[in-house]
Chain A
Amino acid sequence: MSAVAVALRTRRRLRGRAAVGAAILVILVLVALLAPVLAPHDPNAIDPSRVLAGPDASHPFGSDALGRDVLSRVLFAYRVSLGVAVGSVLVAMAVGIPLGLLAGYHGGWVDSLLMRPVDLLLALPALLLALSLIAIIGPGSGVALFAIAVIYLPILARVVRGSVLGVKGEAYVIGARARGVSRTGCMLRHVLPNSLGPAVVQASVLMGFAIQIEAALSFLGLGAQPPTPSLGLMLADGYQVLQQAPWADIYPGLAIAITVLAFTLIGDGLRDHFDPRGVSR
């Protein structure tokens, strides 16, 4: 098979992947929204008679070390995780996109002034930056959201700045300026909409990783605090009873993996759509 044929087939498969990812994500969001309806039990109800009890008809995912229903806890924890993930990326976009747009469009000293501090955030490994912020502010779900947003801000700002640099030289932008559209109008009406593609791809991939980071922080005891049901906390508790009750650990982990998978599939498909030549892969 020629390289071109392989590339074309891969491309079709990737489009299909994005659809699969989107379908999984829709189901996951519905599950998160409907958690109170879907959960068969109270997620925090302690039942001494069911300590580490295995899965059965009324508790399909079994029970944890305090006899709490793992399925109900996964459903409620999932809401927290998804909320933190989506929230952090939205905050990072709200700050990062304008920064990247202004820096890329104006260039010169505006660029240096805005991007130098942003770049410094990239001088620390992401998780270490999050931990440092938590060390300063103290642990919690809100702090985790903020910390993840700070990690993502420079990435999104960089991506937007990069595509703005390309778009601002396009003929239609120069044409709009020649037609008498103001600099700001040009930036908002022509440059911004045409520069968002790569940022959207990046955001979808980052959302998947945000779920992982949130879980990692909570797993370390630095994210969501008990009694908030959190996937990371469930994994930390489940690890203690791994041999006696593997279900207390496997299901929350599976929930994270499926979510990241959905976002990865969507990101792959979108990247292919915005970047058909695969330059950035």
Chain B
Amino acid sequence: MSTRTRYIAERVLLAIPTLLAMTVFVFLLIRLVPGDPVQTMLGFRATPQNVATIRHQLHLDEPLLTQYIDWMKGLVHGDLGRDYVSHAPLSELLGNALPVTLELTFLSMGLALVIGVPMGVMAAARPGTARRLTDGFVILGVSIPDFWLGTLLVLLFAATLVWLPPSGYTPFTADPVGNLRYMALPVLTLAIGEAAYIARTTRGAMDQALGAPFVTFLRAKGLAERSIVFRHALRNASVPIVTVAGIQFGVLLGGAIVIETLFGLPGVGRLTVTAINQRNYTVVQGAVLVIATLFIIVNLVTDLLYGWLDPRIDAGAER
């Protein structure tokens, strides 16, 4: 087995216990609620009969291990349980909400890379004004809380200029232009903060790459600076950029929770917040499970990309 195959197998195998541990946490979530979760969940509808029915439906009257195994069996078959407020199956609720969150996070990350990478490269390749501008952008982008930035953008683009709607949602399949108009402000909000991190990482990695001996050699060879910067140094700098983009994806998923609520997007984040406020534990459980799984998958993909980009892994060198 080649070193690379072994690396990939190792990463995939390592993700499995993490996923399992996460399911245990999510499973325990509802069972750790102080007092009677069913009583809390049902509120004023908590007649003794209702409580007993729901507790039986949630299998809360069985031994913990049996409950977990049954729950996991359901998960494997795509059965996440049922929302006890709207009576809809969770798979349906989450199936509707997930595309919204995915569209928001992927568009934001894409835009952040489009803004951040060139900024970082410019800052490293042309010290002076470009570097100072990037530094300023990074400091501001990191410091301004995303949901407040969202508010400011609403104030500018929705309230003052009236170019974009302040909140709401249309599915892409129903009205692509309308969908993008609704998505524009939330995506921009999340992307600006992310772009700051990407720009900072790119600048740092490019600084190191451009100072490395191989670049001096390429310069001595008479290669055009443009080719050195974009073809050679950027390829060398891509490992930390991909790593940070992967790590930041988790931050984006967290940010999406707040931004979806701010802009009224019906994604998994807003579903989670609404469910927590309503003490609708089964929905909280399903939403946390979906976001966490997504997060673990993204981390795994980042690890694999890292292995693909860093040729030293092939050579079996210590990371």
Question: Interface residues, chain A, CB within 8 Å of chain B?
Answer: 1, 3-4, 6-7, 10, 120, 123-128, 131-132, 134-137, 208, 212, 215-216, 219-222, 235, 238-239, 242-243, 246, 249-250, 253, 256-258, 260-261, 264-265, 278, 281
Contact = CB atoms under 8 A, between A and B. Distances in A.
Contacts of B142: 260, 264
A257 B257 contact: no
Contact of B21 (A123, A126, A137): A123
Interface in B1-47: 18, 21-22, 25-26, 29, 32-34
B257 A127 contact: yes
A261 B272 CA distance: 30
B276 A125 contact: no
B99 interface: no
B204 A261 contact: no
Q: Which 5 pairs, one residue from A and one from B, show the smallest C-beta to C-beta distance?
A: A127-B254, A253-B148, A261-B143, A260-B143, A125-B250
A120 B32 contact: no
B145 interface: yes
Given A6-B127, A222-B276, A135 B281 contact: yes
B152 A253 contact: yes
B139 A242 contact: no
B145 A260 contact: yes
A223 to B, nearest CB: 12
A222 B257 contact: no
B261 interface: yes
Interface string B138-159: 0110111101100110110001
B22, B200, B273 — most chain A CB neighbours (10 Å):
B273
A253 B69 CA distance: 46
Given A127-B255, A132-B29, A134-B276, A256 B159 contact: no
B240 to A, nearest CB: 9
A235 B208 CA distance: 41
B273 A123 contact: no
B33 A136 contact: yes
Contacts of A265: 139
B148 A128 contact: no
Contacts of A219: 147, 258, 261
Band of interface residues on B? 35 or more
A250 B254 CA distance: 23
B108 to A, nearest CB: 14
Contact of A3 (B25, B145, B210): B210
29 contacts: A3-B207, A6-B127, A120-B18, A123-B292, A124-B292, A125-B250, A125-B251, A128-B272, A128-B288, A128-B291, A128-B295, A131-B257, A132-B25, A134-B276, A135-B288, A136-B33, A136-B34, A212-B145, A215-B147, A216-B145, A219-B147, A220-B261, A235-B148, A238-B151, A239-B262, A249-B151, A257-B148, A260-B142, A264-B142
A220 B22 CA distance: 24
A256 B26 CA distance: 32
Interface of B: 18, 21-22, 25-26, 29, 32-34, 127, 131, 139-140, 142-145, 147-148, 151-152, 154-155, 159, 200, 204, 207-208, 210-211, 250-251, 253-255, 257-258, 261-262, 272-273, 275-277, 281, 284, 288, 291-292, 295-296
Nearest to A253: B148
A112 B69 CA distance: 27
B29 A136 contact: yes
A211 to B, nearest CB: 8
A1 B33 CA distance: 61
A136 B32 CA distance: 6
B162 to A, nearest CB: 11
Given A235-B151, A249-B151, A124 B22 contact: yes
Contacts of B272: 128, 131
Contacts of B284: 132, 135
A3 B210 CA distance: 8
A248 B119 CA distance: 34
A49 B258 CA distance: 33
B34 A123 contact: no
A7 B291 contact: no
Given A4-B211, A221-B273, 7 more contacts: A10-B131, A120-B18, A125-B253, A136-B32, A219-B147, A249-B148, A278-B208
A136 B277 CA distance: 11
B172 to A, nearest CB: 24
Contacts of A235: 147-148, 151
A125 B152 contact: no
A120 B277 contact: no
